[in-house]
Structure 1
Amino acid sequence: MESFTGTVAFLLRMLGDTAHVLSMVVLVQKILKTRSASGLSFKTQLLKLIVFATRYLDIFNLQFFRPIHFYNFLMKILYLTFQSILIYIIKFKMYSTYEPLLDDFKIEFLLLPSFLLSIFFSRKDFSVSEIFYNFSVILESLVIVPQLVQLQKMQESETLTSRYILLLGAYRLCYTLSWFVIKLGSIRRVNDLMFACGIIQTALYVHFFFLFYGYVFKGKGFKRIPK
């Protein structure tokens, strides 16, 4: 039974990772195709890079002969690479199309509480690596907030931005389901902080889609349904 639930949990995780990487591919494609970063929050992308950088401090601490270690290493490289590319494109290549006046959420309101909570939830030895890992988990659940705030202000969305958020929502949902399977199958102990933050992050994406389709069907500003 544990073998079956373990396989299901890992498959859900792989689906989540695939959706996560695809979300980055979709965003890069959107920017390069339209030659515009309009409607995108640079701050959300910057926060994501901070999440990856603080979570993957152990990126080179792996054993290549173990498939799961190699898989984790590959995913970390993909996440860091694509996120760095996104930051570079928005900040330097397409900055003239970026809208900083609309992307004005104070990310300090996310960074500082996340850091303080990461210390609070760390064990008594206050390991630096554990604090950074907890920080990345808490912050990741909130990185979409600047993008949501910007979309609410604009009351419109770029065509591929909604696909991007949909893929991110799918990524988060798959991971949360994976943790549920692990808990139900008693395969191993799931980090309670990670589990709680995963639910919060999924809830934020659900909120976005309710807000988004509310504008679409009530005619409050969206001129088209972003795909």
Structure 2
Amino acid sequence: MNILRLAGDMTHLISVIVLLLKIHTIKSCAGISLKTQELYALVFVSRYMNIFTDFISLYNTIMKLIFLGTSFSIVWYMRYHKIVRRSYDKDQDTFRHYFLVLPCLILALLINERFTFKEIMWTFSLYLEAVAILPQLVLLQRTKNTDNLTVQYIFLLGAYRALYILNWIYRYFTEPDYIHWITWISGLVQTILYGDFFYYYFLSWKNNVKLQLPA
């Protein structure tokens, strides 16, 4: 594992910690899309179906368990915790996220590296992760809820994927026959979706002001 892959993993982990900190400590999920969190839970379930059958490393297994556990914990908090769920912007979080699931599954059935159940589920998770942030970005645009923890959570998610792209570039030039077009294109699409958010994030950072999204 190279430093870029490790940095990407740690950035992803920190993003989850930031979100859990907001939910558990402040007892608020305002500005957070339950639809996006449900999609991420589905991403991790479909991606890590081999967790108990294919051992890669202790690090790999621990990270899988963390992301599975935290994703379902977040969904539970937002759906069932009597205090946290009161702050959920249900009326604004109306993106029909289930419309993303079927096209991603069909695409995984049509375009994959091997036509096996595990491979199709893995490919499905890549396609779904690429678009899972859409409900969150739409909610952010609607509510203009740019509190610090929400903004940092979204930024860290985007940064994690950007670091993974750098990792892929590094591995392409240092490892023979390292070519994974499905992973690369899915990751690139995911990063592009953050483009508008990154632009306004860096403007706010440069001017040392609170992030302001256009009307």
**Fold similarity call, TM over 0.5:** yes
Instruction: Give the drift of 1:211.
Output: 4.8
TM-score by length of 2: 0.89
Instruction: Give the drift of 1:73.
Output: 0.7
Q: Which among 158, 165, 178 is matched to residue 189 of structure 1?
A: 178
Please give the secondary structure, in 2, of the residue aligned with 1:24: helix
Q: Which residue of the partner structure matches residue 137 of structure 1?
A: 126
Deviations 1:100-135 (A, max 9, x none): 110000112211111111011125x63111111110
Q: Which amino acid aligns with 1:192?
A: W
RMSD: 2.0
- Aligned mates of 1:212, 1:21 — CA distance in 2: 20
Q: Which residue of the partner structure matches residue 101 of structure 1?
A: 91
Q: Which among 33, 37, 41 is matched to residue 29 of structure 2?
A: 37
Q: Which residue of the partner structure matches residue 72 of structure 2?
A: 84
Please give the secondary structure, in 2, of the residue aligned with 1:118: helix
**Contact between 1:62 and 1:70, CA under 8 Å: does it hold in 2?**
no
Q: Which residue of the partner structure matches residue 208 of structure 1?
A: 197
Q: How does 1:58-73 map onto structure 2 within 5 Å?
A: 58-63=50-55, 69-73=57-61
Please give the secondary structure, in 2, of the residue aligned with 1:88: helix
Change (3 A) 1:118 1:190: same
Larger gyration radius, structure 1 or structure 2: 1
- Aligned mates of 1:110, 1:149 — CA distance in 2: 14
**Contact between 2:23 and 2:29, CA under 8 Å: does it hold in 1?**
yes
Q: Which residue of the partner structure matches residue 54 of structure 1?
A: 46
Change (3 A) 1:84 1:108: closer
- Aligned mates of 2:163, 2:182 — CA distance in 1: 17
Q: Which among 48, 52, 75 is matched to residue 63 of structure 2?
A: 75
* Structure 1 runs of 4+ with >6 Å offset: none
Instruction: Give the drift of 1:21.
Output: 0.9
- Aligned mates of 1:145, 1:121 — CA distance in 2: 22
TM-score by length of 1: 0.84
Instruction: Give the drift of 1:155.
Output: 2.3
Q: Which residue of the partner structure matches residue 109 of structure 2?
A: 119
Seq. identity, %? 34
Q: Which amino acid aligns with 1:210?
A: Y
**Contact between 1:118 and 1:131, CA under 8 Å: does it hold in 2?**
yes
- Aligned mates of 2:4, 2:177 — CA distance in 1: 16
Q: Which amino acid aligns with 1:34?
A: I
Aligned residues: 207
User: Which has the higher mean CA deviation after the structures are superposed, 27-36 or 72-81?
Assistant: 27-36
Change (3 A) 1:72 1:190: farther
- Aligned mates of 1:213, 1:20 — CA distance in 2: 19
Q: Which residue of the partner structure matches residue 4 of structure 1?
A: none
Q: Which amino acid aligns with 1:84?
A: F
Stretches of structure 2 that go unaligned for 5 or more consecutive residues are none
Instruction: Give the drift of 1:95.
Output: 1.2
- Aligned mates of 2:93, 2:23 — CA distance in 1: 17
